[in-house]
Each structure stands twice: as structure tokens, then as C-alpha cells.
Amino acid sequence: MYGLSQVILSKSSVDAYNPKVVRSTMGAIFRVKVIEAENLSETLKNLKKHKYKVVATSLSGTKNIYEIDLSKRVIVIGNEAKGVSEEILNLADEKTKIPMLGKTESLNAGVATGVMLYEYVRRKVCK
């Protein structure tokens, strides 16, 4: 759907092959390479050596998702309770936020991921 070929999960993430997760993806999970990073910060450092930039979502982000380049980026989404860890935020090349109206401060991880990936696809389609 988004043209992604792989997803990197930290070891503390939900099991990507949990029956509820598999069912909610309607089988799409089997068309994407799922990588479980033993050490997420080391994995991100390695990706940076290969010229990828790390973009982390954060309520304290200085730019919103419409102001940043999303090409050749690794997008890091935190969990609902704690967000992206301080260690990963320190590794990030950019910290971004999803602009919202009203008093809502944050979105759940699934919705935030959908919004980020939709913006990525929108830019590809609207070139």
C-alpha cells in the first residue's frame, strides 16, 4: 500500500506475527520484510553510515511533517505511553511532529504511522 519493502521493529515492540496483528494487516505483513532489531540504536547508527537520515516523531519536534524531506529517511514512531526514547531522539537527524488542531496532544502509534506514511505517498504521487 505504501510501497515499503521493510519495517524495523525494536525488540520491545509488539510481536509482528501475533495473530491479532496478522489479522489486522489483512495479510500485508507477509509482503513486507520485518526486521527485529536486537539493538535499535546500533541499527540506526548503521543505517546512518549508509546515508539514511533518521526522523523521529516527537511532541517537541521543531518542524512538522510537511516541512521535512522524507526521501531516504528512516521514520521512527514511538509508543503511546512514552514516545520515542531519549537515546533514539539523540540519534535523530530531525525531530518532527504531526500538526493537530484542538486540544489533542498526541496520536496512537498506528495512527501516527498511517499519517506519516500517507504524507510520504502523497509526495510520491503528487510530483
Give dist(CA 68, CA 66) in Å, integer.
6
Query: Which residue is associated with the grid cell 496512537?
Result: 108
Domain boundaries, the chain: 39-125
Can you spell out the DSSP letters for 44-106? HHHHHHTTPEEEEE-TT-SEEGGGS--TTEEEE--BTTTBS-HHHHHH-SEEEE----TT---
Residue 51 neighbours by CB under 8 Å, 6+ apart = 72
Q: Return the pLDDT at 62.
A: 87
Q: Return the pLDDT at 29.
A: 81
Question: Going residue by residue through the chain (127 aa), what tens digit of pLDDT does each one get?
Answer: 566 778 888 888 878 888 888 888 887 888 888 889 999 999 999 999 999 999 999 988 889 999 999 888 999 998 888 889 999 999 999 999 998 888 877 788 888 988 998 888 888 888 7
Residue 44 sits at the vertex; the CA angle it makes with 39 and 46, to the nearest 5 degrees, is: 95
Q: Return the pLDDT at 3.
A: 67
Q: Which CATH architecture has domain 39-125?
A: 3-Layer(aba) Sandwich (3.40)
